[in-house]
């Protein structure tokens, strides 16, 4: 049995994201005006970096929530679909729970730029243009996201990338009323993402509009170690697929970078597959729970126009969402592993602790989280709130155990008495 516990902020290396989380929490609790802060990197090059957080573009104090078109629709997107999705986000109540971004992925543009070098919305699928679409989405109280690429073409090769056009494209996005940019990494010029991505970051900051910057270089060059200076989230993994092995492997890959996340910048193990049909209800419950605990972006990837009640129930669990959106902003992580039986945990505001008992094995098993596994003292007495059963066990001492079905999980918030 291997044990973990939470990262200490004393004497630790590679902790700038964790320290920023604490800084932001202090600023928020004190009601202070955000100010620029410089954090001394303790990595091998000892370079001083400016942490881009609420102190720069003001975005990403908590992980982003919304919807993205790719997982379900790939390139099959058009204006009507996006408007209907915005409508459904409101009518289902998801918008009221915090799902605000309606994000276009690849394939929204024409193959070539216009005579002045501008990106052009695809006339056959977005006949009224992106500005009109943004106006519609904004009228619903939501935000519109768009997609580009740090290469000559996007990954689909159906439209231009933004390499060499960063400032021009950022100004275009701002003029359209775009609120979010997902920036992919296909068809590049052979240079490092560390050279290409800061150019778009700076262009967005100079665009005249606050635009959330989501880096997507698939974790190739360990972006958690450098992207906090330039972006609001960064992919730590390759693309997710709608199956158990893909989902669990991305959870594991993302976990190793937990200490770098914090308010203003988040690790991104890719978008949610909940509701797309490739996993069981138990597996989707595990998927959503782990993403929430890990402070991952909660970007719905299914067709919410046709969402079923089970899927809606998973995605609209406000107690699980509250863990993801907790203002302390510390990413939970795997703290204990015994074969296929795992304990994941993380600290929350007001000295609470979120805990997941996760059974990755083939049959029902009992999983126990001891207080020393999850950062509590031996004598602490807690009330344990079950976030999926919506029930509370009072005066729990020393450990928390539950029988957990195969590929399922139990998720709790522990409140010390």
The domain boundary residue, chosen from 285, 301, 325: 325
Indicate whether 294 and 344 sit together in one domain: no
Indicate whether 248 and 388 sit together in one domain: no
CATH number, domain of 352, equals: 2.60.40.1180
Residue 369 lies in a domain: yes
Residue 35 lies in a domain: no
Q: How far apart are CA 28 and CA 23, in angstroms?
A: 9
Give how far the C-alpha of residue 73 lies from the chain's centroid of Cα atoms, to the nearest Å: 20
Given the residues 106, 184, 270, 373, the one annotated as active site: 184
Residue 83 lies in a domain: yes
The domain boundary residue, chosen from 261, 290, 325: 325
- How confident is the prediction along the chain (417 residues), in pLDDT tens digits per residue? 444 455 433 223 243 443 344 334 333 333 333 222 222 233 333 233 444 444 478 899 999 999 999 999 999 999 999 999 999 999 999 999 999 999 999 999 999 999 999 999 999 999 999 999 999 999 999 999 999 999 999 999 999 999 999 999 999 999 999 999 999 999 999 999 999 999 999 999 999 999 999 999 999 999 999 999 999 999 999 999 999 999 999 999 999 999 999 999 999 999 999 999 999 999 999 999 999 999 999 999 999 999 999 999 999 999 999 999 999 999 999 999 999 999 999 999 999 999 999 999 999 999 999 999 999 999 999 999 999 999 999 999 999 999 999 999 999 999 999
Whether the CA torsion 296, 297, 300, 301 is positive or negative: it is negative
Residue 181 lies in a domain: yes
- Note if 56 is an active site residue: no
Q: Domain total for the chain?
A: 2
Indicate whether 316 and 380 sit together in one domain: no
Please choose, from the candidates 349, 346, 414, 410, the residue with its C-alpha nearest in 3D space to the C-alpha of residue 382.
414
Indicate whether 251 and 338 sit together in one domain: no
Given the residues 239, 252, 338, 340, the one annotated as active site: 239
Q: Which residue has the tokens 């240079």?
A: 191
Indicate whether 281 and 358 sit together in one domain: no
Indicate whether 310 and 396 sit together in one domain: no
Task: Please name the residues in contact with 177: beta carbons below 8 A apart, sequence gap of 6 or more.
Answer: 131, 134, 135, 138, 144, 209
Residue 136 lies in a domain: yes
- Note if 105 is an active site residue: no
In terms of residue numbers, what domain contains 341?
A: 333-416
Q: Which burial class, exposed, middle or buried, applies to 68 when counting CB atoms under 10 A from its CB (0-12, 13-18, 19+)?
A: buried
The domain boundary residue, chosen from 256, 291, 325: 325
Please choose, from the candidates 182, 198, 203, 210, the residue with its C-alpha nearest in 3D space to the C-alpha of residue 58.
210
Phi, psi (degrees; rounded to nearest 5) at 287 = -55, -55
């Amino acid at each position: 049995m291997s044990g973990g516990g939470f990262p200490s902020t004393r004497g630790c290396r590679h902790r700038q994201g964790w320290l920023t989380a604490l800084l932001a929490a202090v600023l928020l609790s004190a009601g202070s005006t955000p100010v620029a802060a410089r954090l001394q990197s303790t990595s091998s090059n000892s370079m001083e970096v400016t942490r881009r957080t609420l102190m720069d573009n003001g975005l990403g104090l908590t992980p982003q929530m919304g919807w993205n078109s790719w997982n379900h629709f790939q390139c099959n997107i058009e204006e009507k679909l996006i408007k209907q999705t915005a409508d459904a986000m409101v009518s289902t109540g998801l918008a009221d729970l915090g799902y605000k971004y309606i994000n276009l992925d690849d394939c929204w543009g024409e193959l070539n730029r216009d005579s002045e070098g501008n990106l052009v919305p695809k006339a056959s699928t977005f006949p009224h243009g992106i500005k009109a679409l943004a106006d519609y989405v904004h009228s619903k109280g939501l935000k519109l996201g768009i997609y580009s690429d740090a290469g000559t073409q996007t990954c689909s090769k159906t439209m231009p990338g933004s390499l060499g056009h960063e400032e021009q494209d950022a100004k275009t996005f701002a003029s359209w009323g775009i609120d979010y940019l997902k920036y992919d990494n296909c068809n590049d010029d052979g240079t490092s993402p560390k050279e290409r991505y800061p150019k778009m970051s700076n262009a967005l900051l100079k665009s005249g509009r606050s635009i959330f910057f989501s880096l997507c270089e698939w974790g190739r060059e360990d972006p958690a170690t450098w992207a906090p200076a330039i972006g609001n989230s960064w992919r730590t993994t390759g693309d997710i697929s709608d199956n158990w092995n893909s989902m669990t492997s991305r959870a594991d890959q993302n976990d190793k970078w937990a200490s770098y996340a914090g308010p203003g910048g988040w690790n991104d193990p890719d978008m949610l597959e909940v509701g797309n049909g490739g996993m069981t209800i138990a597996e989707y419950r595990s998927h959503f729970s782990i993403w929430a605990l890990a402070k991952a972006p909660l970007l719905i990837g299914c067709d919410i126009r046709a969402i079923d009640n089970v899927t809606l129930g998973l995605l609209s669990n406000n107690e699980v969402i509250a863990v993801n959106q907790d203002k302390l902003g510390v990413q939970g992580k795997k703290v204990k592993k015994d074969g296929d039986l795992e304990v994941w945990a993380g600290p929350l505001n007001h000295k609470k602790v979120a805990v997941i008992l996760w059974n990755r094995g083939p049959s029902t098993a009992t999983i126990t989280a001891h207080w020393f596994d999850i950062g509590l003292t031996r004598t602490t007495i807690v009330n344990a709130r079950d976030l999926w059963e919506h029930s509370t066990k009072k005066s729990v001492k020393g450990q928390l155990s539950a029988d957990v079905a195969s590929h399922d999980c139990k998720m709790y918030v522990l409140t010390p008495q």
